[in-house]
Amino acid sequence: MASAVRPPTTRLRRVATRMGQAICMGGILGYGYYNVYLPWRDPRNVPNQLHPDYFRHFTLLSRTQVTRDTQLLRFQHTLDHSTLPVAPISSVDIKDPTMQVKRSFTPIHTKHTEDNPESFEILVKKYPLASVSQMLHHTDIGDTVEIRGPYQEWEYTPNRWKSIGMVAGGTGITPMWQLIRHILADPSDHTKLTLIYANRSVADIPLRTELEALQAAFPDRLTLQFVVDRDVEPGTTKPTLGNHPVEAGYVSRALLHARLPPARNDTMVLVSGPAGMMRHICGEKRITMEQGPVTGLLHDLGYTSKNVFKL
């Protein structure tokens, strides 16, 4: 009678056995965790407000043509009529469901939403090959758009900085606007603000009226410098915007040196704009969205990652 012979235990066999046990145990624990500890992650259980993990529907209330290719879109919460819980500087994601792509935008409040705290606005420039911006420009009033967030890009502490310089281009003004409004609304915050705002022409300056109104209300706390590469002769300035001179051409090293606070421990410079401007001023963020080294004009002027933040 043949006797059963136990096969020799090899290292490979031991490893395979332990892997099988681990997979089984992992499956059991994962199933329990998913069904017991994560029911709140079901979209049906998410509170009726913005959520960073889930896209929720917000109704488009109105649109305002700001420039020839930029619109200000006003949305209302369809689920919760409370004030949008956004701390500066924060963004939200908007999805184009037809392409399954998303893009980040900075929600803002302007004169259109001051009397309607349950609504918020998004400044959207129309780009030919940008799916989300094309979708938003063609969304009908009353339709809903899928939005999730907010995500804080940069945390602000009142009076942490003596001065904050800001360099913005085009719709890159929105995070600056979000921060400027927040700081100037706090009478106990004494941070001084300087904004260098670059656009193609005077007619292409979004939020110009709102910025001028804030500067008039807080002349000792907010300084404005507009830059356009059209409408004025290169190398000259022309007071076409009230008392604010308009610098002709592009943001230069001389302009940054003259307008921005110097690189010190109590100063910060924020930069937001199109890729070309970012490379010129401070260098782009890495593909992983990390800040990366400070290069460009700000590097030449002695600024480092300690006092520059890319938005």
pLDDT digits (tens, 9 = 90+) for 2-54: 444 444 444 444 444 555 555 555 554 444 443 433 444 555 555 557 888 98
Q: 10 a known binding residue?
A: no
Q: Residue 171: pLDDT band by 50, 70, 90 thresholds?
A: very high
Measured distance CA(94)–CA(104) in Å, rounded: 6
More confident residue, 53 or 298: 298
Q: 306 a known binding residue?
A: no
Res 267 pLDDT > 80? yes
Quick: pLDDT tens for 117-148: 678 899 999 988 889 999 999 999 999 999 99
Enter the DSSP assignment of 202: G
Closest CA to 274 of 292, 242, 250: 250
- The 3-state DSSP class for residue 45 equals helix
- String of DSSP letters for 112-179: TTTT-TTEEEEEEE--TT-HHHHHHHTPPTT-EEEEEEEEESS---TTS-SEEEEEEEGGGHHHHHHH
Q: 144 a known binding residue?
A: no
CA atoms within 13 A on the CB side of 19: 6
Measured distance CA(29)–CA(25) in Å, rounded: 6
Q: 66 a known binding residue?
A: no
Q: What is the pLDDT of residue 36?
A: 35
- The 3-state DSSP class for residue 267 equals strand
Measured distance CA(43)–CA(146) in Å, rounded: 13
In sequence order, which ranges of 226-293 are alpha helices (DSSP H)? 253-259, 275-281
Measured distance CA(52)–CA(310) in Å, rounded: 22
Res 103 pLDDT > 60? yes
Q: What is the pLDDT of residue 146?
A: 93
- Cβ neighbours of residue 42 closer than 8 Å, sequence gap 6 or more: none
Quick: pLDDT tens for 218-231: 999 999 999 998 76
Res 189 pLDDT > 70? yes
- The 3-state DSSP class for residue 84 equals coil
Closest CA to 250 of 199, 174, 296: 199
Res 179 pLDDT > 70? yes
Q: Residue 109: pLDDT band by 50, 70, 90 thresholds?
A: confident
User: Taking residues 82-92, what's their average pLDDT?
Assistant: 78
What is the fold of 56-152? Elongation Factor Tu (Ef-tu); domain 3 (2.40.30)
Question: What are the sequence ranges of the domains in the chain?
Answer: 56-152, 163-310
- The 3-state DSSP class for residue 143 equals coil
Q: 192 a known binding residue?
A: no
State the pTM of this model. Answer: 0.81
Q: 230 a known binding residue?
A: no
Q: What is the pLDDT of residue 14?
A: 46
What is the fold of 163-310? Rossmann fold (3.40.50)
